[in-house]
Amino acid sequence: MIWAYPDNYSILLLAAVFVLLYAIYLYRFWKINQKIKVKKRRLVWKMALRTLYFTLFLIAFAGPSIGNAMKEIKQEGKDIFLAIDLSRSMNAEDIKPSRLQRVKFELKNLVKNFSSDRLGIIIFSSEAFIQCPLTFDQNVIQLHLDGLNSGLVPNAGTDIAAPLKMAYSKFLSDESQEPKSKAVILISDGEDFGNELEETMEQLNQSGIKVFSLGVGTETGSTIPRGSGVVIDQSNNRPAISRLISTNLRKIASQTEGDYFELSDESQEIPQLIDAISKLEGTVMASRTVEASSNKYFYFLLAGLILAIIDSILPVRTLSI
């Protein structure tokens, strides 16, 4: 017999507590016996019954495993690109400490939930660049996330189609050529000055690549810091206000059978995003068969419960009146 939880200290402690309490119980009867006649044989029977079902409870607690069975363990995985907007508007502070800093913090926690998946990072503004190719190495991903800043890309506007086109081409050129579940997590405030979005969405949809959009910011928006001042709107010489524009982000998610989520101080839907990605059916990356023991604690627990019920509903008289 194999024990799933061989915690001898806990078992001995519980046994000691039982012996102590039952000793107090017997001492009380011994005191009663000084004045009233006690049927000792019935007392011994009751003591044996309680000791038996308590012992069964202890055995069940230890998790007895009898016999072995073969169990197949499958490791599933997905390919996921994180497409992160690094345009200057991501420095807006309508989310504290800023949109980009909040994204970096949330993504570092998010990637920990996908340790069996290949993750990659695409950064973009008016152009898209591969910051980190698809990899299983979580440390590399975390390192690249730490270094994200708006100075890594040219800031001449934002083209949301650019990172999606790059993710599409990278998925198609994957050397492994294994059929895998593919997804893109698009993180942006939604500003878009590109003109190839419709064509790109059609390509993604035909290839079965789902896009999960994360809108970052608020509809109220805020100014964009630059140096010791703020970005100025050249059309009216006033501080530029960056706002969350969710229209395109929602459209992309809907047309690729993904979903849309938001991140702000009021709306924090990262857990829902993690749950949606986790529900994607992964491809079996590896499979192995192991020998596993079969835990039989239930039978000991059931027998102990039956004896305890018998003890409670059919009390044994120990006193003679």
| pLDDT > 90: percent of the chain | 47
Tell me the per-residue pLDDT of 59-88, one tens digit each, with 9 for 90 and over. 887 777 666 665 554 556 799 999 999 999
Higher pLDDT, 310 or 169: 169
- Mean pLDDT, range 157-180, rounded to an integer: 84
Residue 105's pLDDT band (cuts 50, 70, 90): very high
Confidence of residue 296 (pLDDT cuts 50, 70, 90): confident
Q: Can you tell me the mean pLDDT for 142-161?
A: 91
Q: Is the pLDDT of residue 17 over 70?
A: yes
What's the pLDDT tens digit per position in 24-59? 876 776 676 656 665 666 667 777 787 888 888 878
Comparing 77-81, 108-112, 189-193, the range with the smallest average pLDDT is 189-193
Q: Taking residues 161-182, what's their average pLDDT?
A: 84
What contacts 12, CB < 8 A, 6 or more positions away?
none
The whole-number pLDDT of residue 66 equals: 67
At 192-248, the pLDDT tens digits run: 877 888 899 999 999 999 999 999 999 999 999 988 889 888 878 899 999 999 999
The predicted model gives 169-177 an average pLDDT of: 79
Note the pLDDT of residue 200: 92
In this prediction, residues 179-199 reach a mean pLDDT of: 87
Position 132 scores a pLDDT of 96
Q: What is the pLDDT of residue 73?
A: 47
Confidence class for position 283, pLDDT limits 50, 70, 90: low
Confidence of residue 122 (pLDDT cuts 50, 70, 90): very high
